[in-house]
Amino acid sequence: MWTHLRSIWLVFLHAFRKRETVLYPEVMPTIPPRWRGRIILSRDPGGAERCVACYLCAVACPVSCIALESAEDEHGRRYPASFRINFSRCIFCGFCEEACPTYAIQLTSDFEMGEYARQNLIYEKEDLLISGPGKYPDYNHYKVAGVAIGSKGKGEGEDEVPPVDVKSLLP
């Protein structure tokens, strides 16, 4: 009986506490930088697209909301001819970001994507592609990769040793 009265009193004292609710449209909540929000496609520091259209994100996606088509340019460099994310299906799990070998696909801290029509939630490549490098400002996939591509020959990348001449016996 006494504990009941005490709990009634303690609950009453909560009337003078600060309220926890963040009044969202007026006050923006603090979103952590690793928040998994709207998905974007980033560019490398040179301004070229990072995506190499390897389809790993589409394979990793548990709800199959990513659809893309690959293409190759004159240097033999792969890029997505089209890239489409259906955000009405996306569950923002971030598996695509984990799967991406080139840091091209990234999740941002933007969550305000409400729409009145479902069609508006289908984002095409021009909606997804941003002008900057996103979370990894210095990373350029083609500068560290081991393959010869366009301007960069084999062994010319960052931290990359030149290829061994297998015809020579000397080390």
Partner 1 sequence: MNVMSSLAIIFGVLAGALVVAALNIWLERRLLALWQDRYGPNRVGPFGLFQVLADMIKILTKEDWIPPFADRPVFVITPGIIVVTVLSAYAIIPFTSSIEVAGLDIGVLFFLAMSSLGVYSIALAGWSSDNKYALIGGLRAVAQMLGYEVYMGLSVMGVCMMAGSFHLREIVEAQKNIWFCLPQCLGFVIFFIAGIAEARRLPFDLPEAESELVAGFHTEYSAMKFGMFFLGEYLGITLISAMIVTLFFGGWLGPYLPPLMWFVVKTFFFIGFFILIRASLPRPRYDQLMAWGWKWMLPLALVNVLVTGGILLAGS
Based on the shown chain and the rule CB under 8 A, indicate whether residue 10 belongs to the binding site for partner 1. Answer: yes
Residue 85 Cα to chain centre, angstroms: 12
In what helix (H) or strand (E) does residue 142 lie, and over which residues does it extend?
A: helix 141-144
Q: 85 — phi, psi (to 5°)?
A: -120, 125
For the segment 53-92, give every residue that binds partner 1 (CB under 8 A).
none
Question: Helix (H, G, I), strand (E, B), or coil: what is residue 71?
Answer: strand
Near partner 1 by CB under 8 A: residue from 2, 17, 74, 168: 17
Contact 55, 71 (CB under 8 A): no
Measured CA angle at 64 (ends 61, 67), to 5 deg:
100
Contact 150, 72 (CB under 8 A): no
* Residues near partner 1 (CB under 8 A), total: 14
Task: Specify the DSSP class assigned to residue 74.
Answer: T
Based on the shown chain and the rule CB under 8 A, indicate whether residue 34 belongs to the binding site for partner 1. Answer: no
Based on the shown chain and the rule CB under 8 A, indicate whether residue 20 belongs to the binding site for partner 1. Answer: yes
Lay out the site mask for partner 1 across 135-164 (x = CB under 8 A, - = otherwise).
Answer: ------------------------------
> Closest CB to partner 1 among 3 and 168?
3
Based on the shown chain and the rule CB under 8 A, indicate whether residue 4 belongs to the binding site for partner 1. Answer: yes
Based on the shown chain and the rule CB under 8 A, indicate whether residue 14 belongs to the binding site for partner 1. Answer: yes
User: Shortest Cβ distance from residue 5 to partner 1 (Å)?
Assistant: 10
Near partner 1 by CB under 8 A: residue from 21, 30, 131, 151: 21
Number of H helices, E strands in the chain: 5, 5
- Interaction site with partner 1 (CB under 8 A): 4, 7-8, 10-12, 14-15, 17-21, 23
